[in-house]
């Protein structure tokens, strides 16, 4: 059978593919540990233009300027009147527009933007004269949610996902004069087919919420590396180094861990990748009690990059979780990426260190970084402070399970999270989602994500917050089919708050858990307005929350395979859905610490319980 494709049809198809590729041009594969490079910070004051009609992106016929023949006409041109006597009509001017501090969400920096959802344009001018033999990477720690990024008026690409790093190789786009400007179109509009979907229980902070900088490397550079213990084997160090740029086969890469007397030279293969395996007997293992980090140096030719890496194993055995071969109990707490004392997304190390210090004060050896990838700095602080980490992608609630683009988006965010966190000893769990409703399309979507996570990293546990159901005989059943694909049986249960009666009544419940795996309670809790007092049956009071914790811990202690928990949540956090004008006022009040930093009575209930568990498991 012969078939003819008309030239016109073929041309149209190629044009369509080209357009799509242009729109979604893949960003540079992430430069591993970019913040450790020599960087030019672009943090600070950026001009911004609020653009709900996307006037800077589409013409009045809704055609995208950057897809037009000239590619010009959008705000990304950063156009200025020329000196002609007849000044052009330009209906925007970044340099005469307002400014805001980056990193920082827009909601907390301009009162008229508190609830704003839509596009805001940002512009930053900077001086950087590119040097011969160097490469330059433009890095954003995160932009929520969809970003179109331009350098000197040229489009670098489009990115979706509000919580993972974005990078572009801009070596050839920097101006020879050294005068440059970067323009970002950030759009935090919620949409059903996105990840997360349109409905979440956290504030939809928009904008450039994490650090921005330009990293410099030599022409041939170390673009990626993984240095960890081999799967379940504390005697063996294994990993790889990937060269980028002008890399070729036979280049020497050196791995040095001086303090452990380890040094190895390996050669790259035809893809510029060098794998290594060497004995690790001399390494002191990382643990929360002893968070030992080693200075690791990777070098190749003129390039070198340093990291501080801990080494440990994590695995399950029946209903035990083994850290370095020893059964542990994970004394955790859930956290959002938000310092409750300062409106908005956490801005930097100070906020993050304060949050983790609160967790340590509570007696934690573990934190659940809900419900999306947190700042890379948070992961490094957890390494340093000795806190195990559950890291998560925002596959949350009612995702568009049957939309292929939605799945691809979720998988990309998961891959970027694992790429960013793979050298962090603190991360022991990759979570692929939270409270996703049962159904065949959801099971296919989530089991595929679980398999993807395992294919990217077989040295960590895979989990998710599963669904449960109750029967009239007060049995809580956990038999969510997704549990087959996970290493932990984790679930959220809100007995005493959303269902099950008063706190004093919830110890009537027993559990029927299908899987012979370690049980991890990923959430329980209830709201309390700090300083509001009543008795144990006065909802919203500190005493109610205190009684809820007392009875939750009694009820949960009946689960034989219980090996940890991350109650919801360390601190009150802003949530648009929480609208009671007295008790909530735009905050979810399930924090053990209030939005003014006050510890509620329930804080001390959990702290005492964790003291007991530390004595039982760690003998201290
Ligand atoms: C859910 C969800 C959280 C939410 C919490 C609550 O389980 O996972 O994101 O904030 O319950 O209702 O407070």
What backbone torsions phi and psi does residue 173 show, to the nearest 5 degrees? -100, -10
Element (H, E) at 618: helix 601-618
Q: Are residues 460 and 584 in the same domain?
A: yes
The answer to whether residues 25 and 164 touch, using CB atoms and an 8 Å cutoff, is no
Least Cα distance to 158 among 20, 24, 57, 19 occurs for: 24
Element (H, E) at 299: strand 294-300
Question: In this structure, is residue 65 part of a structural domain?
Answer: yes
Question: In this structure, is residue 14 part of a structural domain?
Answer: no
22-78 tens-digit pLDDT: 334 445 567 999 999 999 999 999 999 999 999 999 999 999 999 999 999 999 999
442-460 tens-digit pLDDT: 999 999 999 999 999 999 9
Element (H, E) at 296: strand 294-300
Tokens of 571: 């601190």
Question: In this structure, is residue 13 part of a structural domain?
Answer: no
Q: 185, 218, 251 — which closes off a domain?
A: 218
179-236 tens-digit pLDDT: 999 999 999 999 999 999 999 999 999 999 999 999 999 999 999 999 999 888 889 9
* pLDDT over threshold 70, residue 1: no
Question: Which position has the higher pLDDT, 393 or 3?
Answer: 393
Q: Are residues 73 and 158 in the same domain?
A: yes
Instruction: Tell which atom from ligand 1 comes closest to the C-alpha of 527.
Output: 13
Average pLDDT of the chain to the nearest whole number:
94
- Residue with tokens 């160090």, as numbered in its chain: 237
268-284 tens-digit pLDDT: 999 999 999 999 888 99
Instruction: Tell which atom from ligand 1 comes closest to the C-alpha of 492.
Output: 7
Tell me, in angstroms, the distance from the centre of ligand 1 to residue 199's CA: 12
Q: Are residues 279 and 328 in the same domain?
A: no
Question: CB-based burial of residue 260 (10 Å sphere; 0-12 exposed, 13-18 middle, 19+ buried)?
Answer: middle
Closest residue by Cα to atom 10, ligand 1, is: 201
pLDDT confidence of residue 17 = 43
587-600 tens-digit pLDDT: 999 999 999 999 99
Q: Are residues 516 and 606 in the same domain?
A: yes
* pLDDT over threshold 70, residue 435: yes
d(CA 435, CA 412): 20
The answer to whether residues 295 and 246 touch, using CB atoms and an 8 Å cutoff, is no
Question: In this structure, is residue 569 part of a structural domain?
Answer: yes
Closest residue by Cα to atom 7, ligand 1, is: 492
d(CA 412, CA 156): 18
CA angle at 39 for the pair 38 and 41, rounded to the nearest 5°: 155
- Taking CA atoms, 283 is separated from 93, 231, 423, 427, in Å, by 57, 16, 15, 19
Tell me, in angstroms, the distance from the centre of ligand 1 to residue 201's CA: 6
d(CA 370, CA 412): 18
Instruction: Report which DSSP code applies to 348.
Output: S
553-588 tens-digit pLDDT: 999 999 999 999 999 999 999 999 999 999 999 999
Instruction: Tell which atom from ligand 1 comes closest to the C-alpha of 588.
Output: 13
Give the dihedral of Cα atoms 98, 110, 204, 595; nearest 10 deg.
Answer: 140
Sign of torsion over alpha carbons 375, 382, 282, 321 = negative
Q: Are residues 297 and 203 in the same domain?
A: no
d(CA 328, CA 320): 7
The answer to whether residues 204 and 152 touch, using CB atoms and an 8 Å cutoff, is no
Tokens of 593: 């610490």
Question: CB-based burial of residue 536 (10 Å sphere; 0-12 exposed, 13-18 middle, 19+ buried)?
Answer: middle
Instruction: Report which DSSP code applies to 177.
Output: T
Q: Are residues 250 and 363 in the same domain?
A: no
Q: Are residues 344 and 261 in the same domain?
A: no
The CATH number given to whatever domain includes residue 31 is 2.60.120.260
pTM for this predicted structure:
0.94
The answer to whether residues 331 and 564 touch, using CB atoms and an 8 Å cutoff, is yes
Question: In this structure, is residue 228 part of a structural domain?
Answer: no
The answer to whether residues 59 and 53 touch, using CB atoms and an 8 Å cutoff, is no
Least Cα distance to 346 among 213, 188, 212, 210 occurs for: 210
Mean pLDDT of 463-476: 98
Question: Which position has the higher pLDDT, 342 or 14?
Answer: 342
The CATH number given to whatever domain includes residue 364 is 3.20.20.80
Upper half-sphere CA count for residue 336 (Cβ side, 13 Å): 27
pLDDT confidence of residue 27 = 59
The CATH number given to whatever domain includes residue 289 is 2.60.40.10
Question: Which position has the higher pLDDT, 399 or 5?
Answer: 399
d(CA 223, CA 308): 17
Q: Kindly report the length of the chain.
A: 620
The answer to whether residues 124 and 181 touch, using CB atoms and an 8 Å cutoff, is yes
**Pocket probe mutation, ligand 1, options 521, 578, 588, 589, max atoms within 8 Å of Cβ:** 588
Question: Buried b vs exposed e over 463-483: b needs ≥16 C-beta within 10 Å?
Answer: bbbbbbeeeeeeebebebebb
Mean pLDDT of 394-417: 98
Tell me, in angstroms, the distance from the centre of ligand 1 to residue 503's CA: 18
pLDDT band at 168 (very low <50, low <70, confident <90, very high): very high
Q: 311, 341, 362 — which closes off a domain?
A: 311
- Taking CA atoms, 397 is separated from 194, 361, 394, in Å, by 12, 31, 9
Q: Are residues 403 and 301 in the same domain?
A: no
Q: Are residues 601 and 516 in the same domain?
A: yes
Tokens of 233: 């084997």
pLDDT confidence of residue 82 = 84
In this structure, the residues whose C-beta lies within 6 A of any atom of ligand 1 are 201, 371, 434-435, 492, 523, 568, 588, 590
Mean pLDDT of 393-411: 98
Closest residue by Cα to atom 6, ligand 1, is: 201
Question: In this structure, is residue 340 part of a structural domain?
Answer: yes
Beta pairing class for 134-140 and 166-169: antiparallel
Cβ neighbours of residue 84 under 8 Å, at least 6 residues apart?
none
Tell me, in angstroms, the distance from the centre of ligand 1 to residue 261's CA: 47
| Total domains, the chain | 3
303-343 tens-digit pLDDT: 999 999 999 999 999 999 999 999 999 999 999 999 999 98
Q: Are residues 492 and 365 in the same domain?
A: yes
pLDDT confidence of residue 4 = 42
Instruction: Tell which atom from ligand 1 comes closest to the C-alpha of 498.
Output: 12
Element (H, E) at 225: strand 220-230
Question: In this structure, is residue 332 part of a structural domain?
Answer: yes
Question: In this structure, is residue 155 part of a structural domain?
Answer: yes
pLDDT confidence of residue 535 = 97
**Pocket probe mutation, ligand 1, options 436, 492, 493, max atoms within 8 Å of Cβ:** 492
Q: 280, 311, 342 — which closes off a domain?
A: 311
Instruction: Report which DSSP code applies to 599.
Output: B
The answer to whether residues 222 and 242 touch, using CB atoms and an 8 Å cutoff, is yes
* pLDDT over threshold 60, residue 9: no
Sign of torsion over alpha carbons 94, 97, 101, 106 = negative
The answer to whether residues 439 and 398 touch, using CB atoms and an 8 Å cutoff, is no
Q: Which range marks the domain in which residue 456 is found?
A: 315-618
Count the Cβ atoms, other than its own, within 10 Å of residue 118: 15
Question: CB-based burial of residue 559 (10 Å sphere; 0-12 exposed, 13-18 middle, 19+ buried)?
Answer: middle
Instruction: Tell which atom from ligand 1 comes closest to the C-alpha of 575.
Output: 10
Q: Are residues 290 and 331 in the same domain?
A: no
Closest residue by Cα to atom 4, ligand 1, is: 201
Mean pLDDT of 254-263: 95
Q: Helix (H, G, I), strand (E, B), or coil: what is residue 477? A: strand
The separation between the first and the last C-alpha atoms of the chain, rounded to the nearest angstrom, is 78
Cβ neighbours of residue 542 under 8 Å, at least 6 residues apart?
528, 529, 530, 531, 532, 533, 600, 601, 602
Q: Are residues 361 and 299 in the same domain?
A: no
């Amino acid at each position: 059978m012969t078939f003819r494709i008309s030239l016109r049809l073929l041309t149209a198809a190629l044009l369509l593919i080209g357009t799509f590729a242009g729109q979604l041009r893949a960003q540079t594969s992430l430069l591993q540990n970019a913040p450790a490079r020599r960087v030019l910070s672009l943090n600070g004051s950026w001009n911004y233009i609020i653009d709900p009609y996307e006037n800077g992106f589409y013409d009045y016929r809704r055609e995208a300027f950057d897809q037009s023949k000239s590619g010009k006409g959008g705000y990304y041109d950063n156009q200025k009147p020329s000196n002609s006597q007849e000044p052009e009509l330009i209906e925007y001017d970044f340099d005469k527009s307002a400014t805001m501090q980056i990193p920082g969400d827009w909601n907390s920096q301009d009162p008229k933007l508190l609830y704003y959802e839509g596009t805001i344009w940002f512009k930053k001018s900077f001086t950087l004269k590119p040097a011969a033999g160097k490469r330059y990477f433009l890095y954003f720690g995160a932009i929520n949610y969809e970003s179109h990024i331009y350098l000197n008026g040229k489009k670098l690409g489009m990115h979706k996902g509000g919580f993972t790093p974005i990078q572009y190789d801009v070596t050839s786009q920097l101006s020879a004069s050294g005068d440059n400007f970067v323009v970002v179109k950030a759009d935090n509009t919620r949409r059903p087919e996105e990840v997360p979907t349109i409905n979440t229980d956290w504030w939809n902070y928009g904008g450039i919420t994490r650090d921005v900088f330009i990293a410099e490397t030599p022409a041939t550079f170390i673009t990626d590396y993984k240095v960890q213990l081999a799967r379940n084997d504390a005697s063996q160090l294994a990993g790889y180094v990937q060269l980028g740029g002008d890399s070729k086969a036979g280049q020497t890469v050196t791995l040095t861990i001086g303090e452990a007397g380890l040094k190895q030279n390996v050669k790259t293969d035809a893809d510029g990748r060098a794998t290594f395996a060497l004995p690790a007997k001399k390494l002191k293992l990382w643990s929360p009690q002893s968070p030992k980090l080693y200075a690791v140096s990777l070098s190749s030719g003129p390039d070198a990059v340093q990291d501080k890496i801990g080494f440990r194993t994590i695995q399950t055995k029946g209903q035990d979780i083994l850290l370095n071969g020893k059964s542990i109990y994970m004394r955790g707490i859930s956290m959002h990426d938000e310092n409750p004392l300062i409106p908005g997304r956490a801005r930097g190390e100070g906020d993050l260190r304060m949050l983790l210090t609160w967790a340590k004060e509570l007696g934690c050896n573990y934190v659940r970084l809900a419900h999306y990838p947190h700042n890379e700095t948070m992961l490094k602080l957890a390494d340093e402070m000795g806190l195990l980490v559950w890291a998560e992608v925002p596959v949350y609630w009612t995702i568009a399970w049957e939309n292929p683009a939605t799945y691809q988006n979720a998988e990309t965010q998961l891959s970027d999270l694992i790429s960013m966190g793979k050298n962090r000893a603190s991360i022991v769990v990759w979570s692929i989602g939270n409270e996703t409703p049962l159904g065949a399309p959801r099971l296919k979507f989530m089991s595929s994500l679980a398999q993807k996570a395992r294919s990217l990293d077989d040295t960590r546990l895979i989990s998710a917050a599963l669904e449960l159901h109750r029967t009239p005989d007060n049995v809580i059943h956990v038999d969510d089919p997704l549990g087959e694909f996970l290493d932990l049986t984790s679930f959220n249960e809100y007995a005493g708050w959303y269902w099950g009666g008063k706190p004093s009544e919830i110890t009537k419940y027993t559990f029927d858990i299908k899987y012979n795996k370690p049980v991890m309670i990923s959430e329980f809790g209830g709201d309390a307005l700090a300083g509001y007092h009543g008795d144990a049956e006065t909802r919203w009071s500190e005493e109610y929350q205190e009684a809820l914790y007392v009875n939750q811990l009694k009820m949960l202690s009946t689960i034989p395979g219980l090996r940890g928990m991350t109650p919801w949540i360390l601190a009150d956090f802003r949530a648009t859905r929480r609208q009671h004008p007295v008790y909530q006022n735009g905050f979810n009040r399930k924090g053990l610490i209030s939005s003014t930093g006050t510890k509620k009575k329930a804080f001390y209930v959990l702290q005492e319980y964790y003291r007991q568990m530390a004595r039982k498991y760690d003998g201290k």
